[in-house]
Structure 1
């Protein structure tokens, strides 16, 4: 790379949000340069369970997920490459009647989301066993959404990358963003370890490092890093169809999903997880996971381990996203704070954000995610029993 190059949009971060935005901007004819200090999907995206979940989404996220699922269904055709997408359903098990009642009448429960058009329903223990005959318990029933699913994160990111490059996007991998170029009240580009990328728009899609990127523009983004831990099995014959989570109202849970390649990815929710930068796997993680699998689905307790890992995801105070095209500094675009829920909506976020940048008009579906809510004190608290790449779903 030369000491300086130009683009219409520079993007910091090579996860699902960054690369999807790069593709859709390139599709609109804009010149895009994406900057990633490691390889694509090196952060949260590459370590996610990769669910595509509508169930349990907040009323602000659910319409965005409807749009995302539309794109997921045709994404392989659009990009001309496999992404491992399966619409295999999502089953959240209730350990007791209190949890089952929460699934039905609680915030973003079946009663609320069914009125918003989601095909979600309460299922009895007998119906659960029809969906997953290998389950043993303990559970009294659950919540099922047949149109939910999952994909393969690396395949998805790679497919977006090839399609973006085919439309002229430049991917600067192994190149670290080290600062912003700001003149007056306007962003003018990105300083990198290999020179400067001049651009009137800069997208902060840096995941857990988005707070640091924001600080280069004197922004204090309310983002903290948290860790998830998962185990990936070797290839197995079909054993479980829907994405399964078993949990209680205190946040104790085990989750698992069998991918398109036969591998099962599984992990534990940890309500005691503290913010921090460690990606170490706890010494007792695998033994505790297998202990709980033995109770829930004994046939899976001894699945062969291919790998285990810890990964980081960024969390906001209300676990809602931060998406905005700022006016101060003008041209800085925020696409971060996905709170372990960013993989599923990735195609819709990328497409709508590209529309916003290209036209200057904010899509209505992105309006709820302005960071102005933190300044106004209107942070929305809600409870979500979901899977991350360890704690919830960035999952999804």
Structure 2
């Protein structure tokens, strides 16, 4: 079996799989290497939300493209990924949050997200039946935001890579980046084989920093533990993804295809590191936060909990760039948004690599950039 390829991709989540698909579609011989099973990392542990409501031009425009991909994915990949535009509703319980959302909406509309709008408390209760509107001033609502099933998406891309002549190595851990003549030459794996390619892509998610170190490249990505839970399936209530930024808030939605509610919240203080332990504290706390927003969920039973990693950059924006090592690219640091950004990021990365461009396609995604600005809608 040949161990040479045009491109080696490290990481079997949405970013690696989507990038591999679009490169294979362009005629590149692709080898994707994943140390576990496909979707074993952040992608398989996310809650499946897909939104266009960001505050940076790059992220908004990428998400407009991603939603177009998700809406056509059944036809493109030949698999039902359970895409459904159920919407996102960001809740404002303070005048400060209302003003921030109104400013964000203006920015989003200016960059092409035309259906995002402010809804008052009454209308919020209409678009989210059963929502507790006590103390609610309103929210930022985008009906074209939605949901999809991460495992179906990644496996759909993977099957397409293979059908286009690419290879996928699961349970294969990269232990070294091979270099020579001032450029990348391939990778060495824990299982023994070396795989060779003129292009190596670091799409390793929470482990992007460690892969970068193997190449002598500083990649400012830090993992942070986030927990999630899922309930039994119940009748579909037509509630959009609810996002409550209060310190005792959280994020949750109901999957349309099976009626299960899935949700999480951002821990305070944050929990850095690669741990994917689950806690009794989260299992006790998350249902309370859900019930505070939608009291009718009281009879619904939780059936499972887990945790995964956000792959955070200092400014909350991704990295999509070539590195100082010729042929070594970094596509990482999705900051908890990798699943939703993945299709557009993959397409953009493939185009960037095909062109052999020197500058990143979006300046705010450069590897060596000023990380002091902040994405407001993390």
TM-score w.r.t. length of structure 2: 0.94
- Residue 129 of structure 2: SS of its match in structure 1? coil
The number of residues matched between the two structures is 374
Give the equivalent residue in structure 2 for 1:393: none
Unaligned stretches of 5+ residues in structure 1: 387-396
Do structure 1's residue 275 and structure 2's residue 272 form an aligned pair? yes
Do structure 1's residue 379 and structure 2's residue 371 form an aligned pair? yes
Give the equivalent residue in structure 2 for 1:221: 219
Measured after TM superposition, the shift of residue 241 of structure 1 is: 2.9
Unaligned stretches of 5+ residues in structure 2: none
Mapping 1:280-359, distance limit 5 Å: 280-326=277-323, 328-359=324-355
RMSD between aligned residues = 1.7
CA distance in 1, matches of 2:86, 2:361: 26
4+ long deviations beyond 6 Å = none
Measured after TM superposition, the shift of residue 365 of structure 1 is: 4.4
Are the counterparts in 1 of residues 253 and 262 from structure 2 also a CA contact under 8 Å?
Answer: yes
Measured after TM superposition, the shift of residue 358 of structure 1 is: 2.1
Measured after TM superposition, the shift of residue 253 of structure 1 is: 2.2
Mapping 1:255-274, distance limit 5 Å: 255-259=251-255, 260-274=257-271
Do structure 1's residue 247 and structure 2's residue 242 form an aligned pair? no
Give the equivalent residue in structure 2 for 1:68: 66
Measured after TM superposition, the shift of residue 362 of structure 1 is: 6.5
Give the equivalent residue in structure 1 for 2:91: 93
Mapping 1:125-204, distance limit 5 Å: 125-138=121-134, 139-194=136-191, 195-204=193-202
CA distance in 1, matches of 2:210, 2:137: 45
Are the counterparts in 1 of residues 7 and 28 from structure 2 also a CA contact under 8 Å?
Answer: yes
Measured after TM superposition, the shift of residue 364 of structure 1 is: 6.9
Measured after TM superposition, the shift of residue 340 of structure 1 is: 0.8
Are the counterparts in 1 of residues 322 and 360 from structure 2 also a CA contact under 8 Å?
Answer: no
Are the counterparts in 2 of residues 95 and 247 from structure 1 also a CA contact under 8 Å?
Answer: no
Measured after TM superposition, the shift of residue 233 of structure 1 is: 1.1
Give the equivalent residue in structure 2 for 1:117: 112
CA distance in 2, matches of 1:293, 1:320: 28
CA distance in 1, matches of 2:13, 2:306: 17
- Residue 253 of structure 1: SS of its match in structure 2? coil
CA distance in 2, matches of 1:370, 1:35: 24
CA distance in 1, matches of 2:49, 2:230: 14
CA distance in 2, matches of 1:344, 1:383: 16
CA distance in 2, matches of 1:69, 1:57: 17
CA distance in 1, matches of 2:99, 2:141: 14
Deviation track 1:236-260 (CA, whole Å, cap 9, x = no partner) reads 2102331111223xx5421111113
